[in-house]
Amino acid sequence: MTTTQGTQGTQGADPYAAAESATTEGRVFTVTGQDWDSVVSGVADEGEDRVVVNMGPQHPSTHGVLRLILELEGETVTEARCGIGYLHTGIEKNMEFRTWTQGVTFCTRMDYLAPFHNELTYCLGVERLLGIEDEIPEKAQVLRVLLSELNRISSHLVCIATGGMEIGALTVMTIGFRERELVLDLFELITGLRMNHAFIRPGGVAQRLPPGALGQIKDFVKLMKKRLPEYAALCNANPIFKGRLEDVGHLDLAGCLALGITGPVLRSTGYAWDLRRTQPYSGYEDYEFDVVTWDTSDSYGRFRIRLEEMWQSLRIVEQCAARLEKLQGAPVMIEDKKIGWPAQLAVGTDGMGNSLDHIRHIMGESMEALIHHFKLVTEGFSVPPGQAYVPVESPRGELGAHVVSDGGTRPYRVHFRDPSFTNLQATSVMSEGGQVADVIVAIASIDPVMGGVDR
């Protein structure tokens, strides 16, 4: 079977069509989207055993709205391609029409399972352009690391839970989401929201920890140390679980390097590449943790890596909590009032708007302070012309924001290097030659989030 983008009669109107579309053998099917029924029926007419099927974009195993176009010969996948774009939100373009601080509200919604990492890479890029990297308060840096590692735990829990659900391990799914709820409760306590926080801002973070937060964080760590062994007991040596994951979705180091693939997929080849260690940011060089690797280059290795990485994240969270105890009352935003967003708000007694005391405080400082406050909120701060790229290690690999400024109060361009988008390239390599059921396992081991892919 041969497919082409157009026919001879329509090539004159299509500047992107090839000059020649003649084929030497087989029937030609004109595929323009949403007409796979005719392709499948055409293959049936040919009397061949191959068939083209769609998995997704609403299939429960495609981790969001991912469309997989599979060519099958019996149960064997002979060709696998990804169809993306169903969740496109225009976030990067929208950020060009908002101030630098307001951009955080947009980018936090991309990879919705790792919102803090989206915010962090963007803010690190803005801070580099501003030249204020050394002025970020220590407490803000510690809070950024704390939230990033809690976020890594919650993201890995979803990966393991949904991956277990897709192969029938429903107990893994239920306990995975049970633990994730505990992390989201901490996020709500610290930031006020379970997701889409916009908490990490250029210059620091929005607010200090609320009273009692450190105690709840310590209780969470203590509980997770009891709960994480349950995953190992259910899965690590389970012959059915290992039978579904071992030697499935194989991709070696050479393949990862050729495709630019990072994160647990890369570390499952034995290569200890973790930006927290190799290119430290936000003070990660001051924390003790191990870079987890495996040597099987398959889906089982990626599962084991994520399981062990949650233990390492708990180690970092404990160190963050200990450092925060010594930083009681320390600032969490840069001192420069022309950059630091005034987030220390006090809500009125009716729960609507700012309290009168807070307004009196702003109005009563000085006329200059009031003017700066007004300009910062309505217009934003200017960023010197230039461009910056500061990547972070998200739960799925290297996540970076390429931030470009023309000297104004809004980004000239922001483009994100999302690991889910890059890692999806491995779909065909991992799936072709395997069974249909193994496609689901391979996709789950990549752990793509389509909000980050489509943006």
User: What local confidence, expressed as pLDDT, does residue 64 receive?
Assistant: 72
pLDDT tens column, 271-330: 889 899 999 998 899 999 999 999 888 888 898 899 899 999 999 999 999 999 888 888
Closest CA to 68 of 390, 454, 433, 431: 431
DSSP notation for 373-408: HHHHHHT-----SEEEE--EEETTEEEEEEEEE-SS
User: What local confidence, expressed as pLDDT, does residue 344 receive?
Assistant: 61
Contacts of 266 (CB under 8 A, 6+ apart): 253, 256, 273, 397
Total-model pTM: 0.83
For residue 347, being part of any structural domain is answered with: no
| Banded pLDDT at 21 (limits 50, 70, 90) | very low
- Specify which residues 82 forms β-bridges with: 68
| Banded pLDDT at 395 (limits 50, 70, 90) | very high
- Number of compact structural domains in the chain: 2
**Are 73 and 39 members of one domain?**
yes
User: What local confidence, expressed as pLDDT, does residue 4 receive?
Assistant: 40
| Banded pLDDT at 125 (limits 50, 70, 90) | very high
Final residue of a structural domain among 83, 116, 146: 83
For residue 352, being part of any structural domain is answered with: no
For residue 298, being part of any structural domain is answered with: yes
pLDDT above 50 for 356: yes
pLDDT above 50 for 3: no
**Are 205 and 294 members of one domain?**
yes
Q: What is the mean pLDDT of residues 380-388?
A: 89
pLDDT above 50 for 239: yes
Question: Which helix (H) or strand (E) is 153 found in, with range?
Answer: helix 138-166
For residue 145, being part of any structural domain is answered with: yes
Q: What is the mean pLDDT of residues 247-253?
A: 87
CA 2 to CA 93: how far, in whole Å? 37
| Banded pLDDT at 5 (limits 50, 70, 90) | very low
**Are 106 and 30 members of one domain?**
no
**Are 103 and 42 members of one domain?**
no
**Are 144 and 174 members of one domain?**
yes
Final residue of a structural domain among 61, 83, 105: 83
**Are 273 and 177 members of one domain?**
yes
For residue 289, being part of any structural domain is answered with: yes
Query: Pick the residue with more confidence: 351 or 265?
Result: 265
Question: Which helix (H) or strand (E) is 76 found in, with range?
Answer: strand 76-83
Contacts of 175 (CB under 8 A, 6+ apart): 161, 227, 230, 231
**Are 250 and 323 members of one domain?**
yes
**Are 72 and 56 members of one domain?**
yes
Contacts of 162 (CB under 8 A, 6+ apart): 63, 173, 176, 444
User: What local confidence, expressed as pLDDT, does residue 14 receive?
Assistant: 56
**Are 54 and 119 members of one domain?**
no
User: What local confidence, expressed as pLDDT, does residue 404 receive?
Assistant: 94
The top-scoring range by mean pLDDT among 4-18, 49-63, 308-322 is 308-322
Taking every pair of Cα atoms in the chain, the longest distance, rounded to a whole number of angstroms, is 84
Domain assignment of residue 299, given as a range: 91-340+381-454
User: What local confidence, expressed as pLDDT, does residue 69 receive?
Assistant: 85
For residue 355, being part of any structural domain is answered with: no
**Average pLDDT of the chain to the nearest whole number:** 83
Final residue of a structural domain among 32, 53, 83: 83
Q: What is the mean pLDDT of residues 372-393?
A: 86
**Are 68 and 207 members of one domain?**
no
**Are 293 and 333 members of one domain?**
yes
Q: What is the mean pLDDT of residues 405-423?
A: 91
Q: What's the CATH code of the domain at 126?
A: 1.10.645.10
Q: What is the mean pLDDT of residues 29-55?
A: 64
**Are 107 and 226 members of one domain?**
yes
For residue 278, being part of any structural domain is answered with: yes
pLDDT above 60 for 211: yes
For residue 77, being part of any structural domain is answered with: yes
User: What local confidence, expressed as pLDDT, does residue 311 receive?
Assistant: 92
pLDDT above 90 for 402: yes
User: What local confidence, expressed as pLDDT, does residue 150 receive?
Assistant: 93
